[in-house]
Amino acid sequence: MSERYSISAIIPAFDEEKNIRNVINTLEDYALLKEIIVVDDGSRDATSNMVRKTGARLITLPKNLGKGRAMDVGVKASTGKFIFFLDADITGLNTEVIDRIVSPVVRGEFDMFVGIRARKAYFLNKMLRLFPVLGGERILAKEIWDHLPSEYKRGFQIEIALNYFTKRMGKKMGFEIIRGLSQTIKEKKYGFIVGFGRRLVMVYDVVLIGIKLYVVHRIRKRLGLVHK
């Protein structure tokens, strides 16, 4: 495969036995991928068994380390020039959608590109353009990940950290809001109580890292405590 199309797809997965095969099957239909790596992040269900029925490479972790750590394990095992991250619970994925996310980076227009799941309400889609870009479906040059401080490669803070350090490195980041792309919500996957609890953990991670990187850093910069 040409170095230009050297893309490693990486899927961190935790208890995704119902969804993971659909995601992998769609990826296998996309010709530009060099490899598909699934990191089973300590699942308690049959996620690993589902992956073994596909052509994807499986890495199993003995316990749940969190999204960011699972992604890092996948990157370290990858051989591609570009890293294409996907959530294991994504729905509405097809080869056309994959191409819309992947092509801007492959063509050299951006160093990182994110596919954002469209919301049903018009005003919510407008708000997506004002807030930090969150999305599990993103492709980036591997060098960006390699330069990301390890302390940020954990939990759900990883996406905000990638946005921040990509811009800080002077790299170009883009995104597109894609209709039809969705995910199975946590409350539906795990039940309302457990799912809502997991959602709170995710929100906490995102808000905390957002404050740390964007608010605190800006204050320190104004006080002359940092140079960048």
Asked if pLDDT for residue 129 goes beyond 60, the answer is no
With the C-alpha atoms ordered 56, 61, 67, 70, is the resulting torsion angle positive or negative? negative
For the four alpha carbons of 68, 186, 25 and 159, in that order, the dihedral sign comes to negative
pLDDT digits 0-9 by tens, 13-60: 999 999 999 999 999 999 999 999 999 999 999 999 999 999 999 999
CB 162 within 8 A of CB 110: no
**pLDDT(226) > 70:** no
Mean of pLDDT values over 206-214: 74
Distance CA 43, CA 54 (A): 17
For the chain, which domains are there? 3-184 (3.90.550.10)
* pTM listed for this prediction: 0.84
Question: What would the pLDDT profile of 169-178 be if each residue is shown by its tens digit?
Answer: 999 999 998 8
The residue ranking higher by pLDDT, 207 or 27, is: 27
* Distance, C-alpha 160 to centroid of its chain: 10
Mean pLDDT of the chain: 85
Q: What is the pLDDT of residues 133-179, one digit of tens each?
A: 667 799 999 999 999 999 889 877 888 899 989 989 999 999 998 88
